[in-house]
A and B are shown apart, each in its own frame.
Chain A
Amino acid sequence: MKPTRKAAITRRRKRFIKERELWILFAIMLVWVGVICYYPMYGLIIAFKQYVPGRSIQSAAWVGFKYFKQFFSSPDFPYVIRNTLVISGLNLLFGFPAPIILAVMLNEMRMRRTKRIIQTISYLPHFISWVVTASLLFTLLNSEGLINKFLLDIGLIDTRINWLNDGQYFWGILVTANIWKNVGFSSIIFLSAMSGIDQELYQAGAVDGLGRAGQIWHITLPGIRVTVILLGILQLGSILNAGFEQQLLLGNDLTRRYYEVIDTYAYKYGVQLGNYSYGTAVGLMKGLISVSLVFLANALSRKTMDIAVI
């Protein structure tokens, strides 16, 4: 009797000590998340205050929705919203199907070694920085660059164009760069979904007289349907994220009316020009709409696919 009771007590004590250790870790992590993630959220109230740099947030006067109204009535508002929606719309329209097409093509490739090499090559742009990408683009799109040389040689243009200094080309260049950078890496998830398709389906399809194209259309694509719809819904949820680094690196004063999106606008006004309250208001508005869209997208996927992402 006695030793087991003693053992029970020591075990309980040991367990208490264990819990204490975990609570210490809990406290440390709480401090980190409190200071790094939650403390900045408190700063969001400057969107409703007239914050003066260098003074405390508490001492700033309340101004209500002044800065939100200022954004909506600003002459920048229409083109900033237009750019945001157009750029992410184009990203969705061309950037979303591109990795699916690449995945189908790779899936149809029979030379295994070559296929693996092409896949490895296709991931490369995902891992290099936007600064390096921008440098490559500056080189290629320069008036002395190879794009001009190529287009002149085949006769599509007759004078050299400085592509990055002309706003009308900006969306096309940006979306192409986005696709170039991400198509290979994004195809991984579709390829892994394709590898999960039952091979007997193809066998049965062949028996029923399906040709190559028929097998892709009736077996491969329906086989990745869930993945496609899920990722599509997710991307719809992030429609206000039109990119940030790309715009800052590739854009310049001449193309500003075409590259400025909500995020770069908030950065420009908030940090560079020092209108902290205004920039925060713009960012907060975008953040709130974004989060609601994500939750809406999640509700949609739960309803249609019975899969919750969040």
Chain B
Amino acid sequence: MHTYYPKTVWTRLFDLFNCLALFLFSFLVLFPFWNQICISASNLKVYSMKDVVWLPIDFNLEAYQMALTDVRIGKAALISVLRVLVGTTTSLFCTGLLAYVTTIRWFRGAKYLRRIFLFTMYFSGGMIPTYLAYINLGLFNSFWVYIVPSLINAYYMLLIASYIAGLPDALTEAARIDGASELRIYIRLIIPICVPVFAAISVYTAVYHWNAWFDTTLYVPSGDWDTLQIYLRRILLEVEAFSKIEDASTAYAKFKSLAPQSMRAAVTIIATVPIVIVYPLLQRYFITGITIGSVKQ
């Protein structure tokens, strides 16, 4: 950190305002979440949403109790977790394997494979042809529509490949002479060495799977594989619709004597908590991922 400037009154004032501005910024980032927590734990049957500012009013956890015992929310959360686990592991394994194959110099197919996948970064069928194709492929209304299309990501392939290309050839050559198969080399040698880049990509992929909602709207309209995000989306639509017709009795009947806004807030917090727990721990890795990406550029 540089401090090569005279310590005048002006630089001290600058520091002060800089700090204050950054604190204000942090406040603006965090406050919407805090307000949501307060609303979820307030009694909105008696008080209005505008009364809840800094702290919950008439603190209670009824909304969470209801959300966590609701079978549909439980199922949605389970499907979300399943999607994240299966989606992230399979995607990492396949994208990494592809990246590894494209870095084997003596393999004549490597260069073609790389180009075939690079092409998909710039050209795609677009939403509607893809939608029609997935229907034809039998992915419609199936859990696999979450997993199969995201098995390989061309951009992450580039990231991992640039990482593997930086490793000495002797590493894999020794295993190859010992007669290890390529798949074995990939699993036993490459994956353990590539942990930093894999960790970075796993953060992005896991967050992608946890946050995705539009593919459910598009490909799984049956509702059989609704994720937590889709459930929240449905609540949003319902609450907005209720606030338009202002028919409180329907709203209360729907949410069993709980204010719909409390329920909305509670589910919002439930959908946010896993992210808040995970991302600070993996910060080092996703920053590495960005810097690898920028070196590539």
Contact across chains for B97 and A138 when beta carbons are under 8 A apart: no
Q: Give the distance in Å from the alpha carbon of A205 to the alpha carbon of B6 in the complex.
A: 12
Q: Find A284's partner among B98, B126, B148, B272 (CB 8 Å cutoff).
A: B126
Q: Given that A120-B283, A131-B229, A135-B264 are contacting pairs, would A276 and B128 also be in contact in the complex, using a CB cutoff of 8 Å?
A: yes
Q: Find A211's partner among B6, B151, B276 (CB 8 Å cutoff).
A: B6
A24-32, A68-76, A80-88 - the one binding chain B: A24-32
Q: Interface residue count for B (Cβ, 8 Å)?
A: 95
A309 is an interface residue with CB less than 8 A from chain B: yes
- Secondary structure at the B interface, as helix, strand, loop or mixed, is helix
**Hey, which chain A residues are within 8 Å of B6, CB to CB?**
206, 211
Q: Interface residue count for A (Cβ, 8 Å)?
A: 97
Contact across chains for B25 and A129 when beta carbons are under 8 A apart: no
Most buried by B among A41, A105, A252, A309: A41
**Hey, which chain B residues are within 8 Å of A145, CB to CB?**
49-50
**Chain A nearest Cβ from B175, distance in angstroms:** 11
B61 is an interface residue with CB less than 8 A from chain A: no
Q: Give the distance in Å from the alpha carbon of A211 to the alpha carbon of B10 in the complex.
A: 10
A43 is an interface residue with CB less than 8 A from chain B: yes
B183 is an interface residue with CB less than 8 A from chain A: yes
Q: Find B272's partner among A132, A139, A266, A267 (CB 8 Å cutoff).
A: A132
Closest to B214 in A: A245
Q: Find B129's partner among A22, A44, A123, A138 (CB 8 Å cutoff).
A: A44
Q: Give the distance in Å from the alpha carbon of A95 to the alpha carbon of B52 in the complex.
A: 31
Contact across chains for A21 and B39 when beta carbons are under 8 A apart: no
**Hey, which chain A residues are within 8 Å of B181, CB to CB?**
18, 21
A19 is an interface residue with CB less than 8 A from chain B: yes
Contact across chains for B271 and A132 when beta carbons are under 8 A apart: yes
Q: Give the distance in Å from the alpha carbon of A135 to the alpha carbon of B229 in the complex.
A: 11
Q: Given that A128-B272, A131-B236, A132-B272 are contacting pairs, would A22 and B107 also be in contact in the complex, using a CB cutoff of 8 Å?
A: yes
Closest to B49 in A: A144
Contact across chains for B275 and A127 when beta carbons are under 8 A apart: yes
**Chain A nearest Cβ from B135, distance in angstroms:** 10
**Chain B nearest Cβ from A206, distance in angstroms:** 4
A149 is an interface residue with CB less than 8 A from chain B: yes
CB under 8 Å from chain B, chain A span 69-108: 102, 105-106, 108
Q: Give the distance in Å from the alpha carbon of A252 to the alpha carbon of B241 in the complex.
A: 11
Contact across chains for B113 and A29 when beta carbons are under 8 A apart: yes
CB under 8 Å from chain A, chain B span 245-297: 261, 264-265, 268, 271-272, 275-276, 279-280, 283, 287, 290-291, 294, 297
**Hey, which chain B residues are within 8 Å of A39, CB to CB?**
125, 133, 137
Q: Give the distance in Å from the alpha carbon of A287 to the alpha carbon of B121 in the complex.
A: 12
Q: Find A146's partner among B19, B50, B148, B176 (CB 8 Å cutoff).
A: B50
**Chain A nearest Cβ from B261, distance in angstroms:** 7
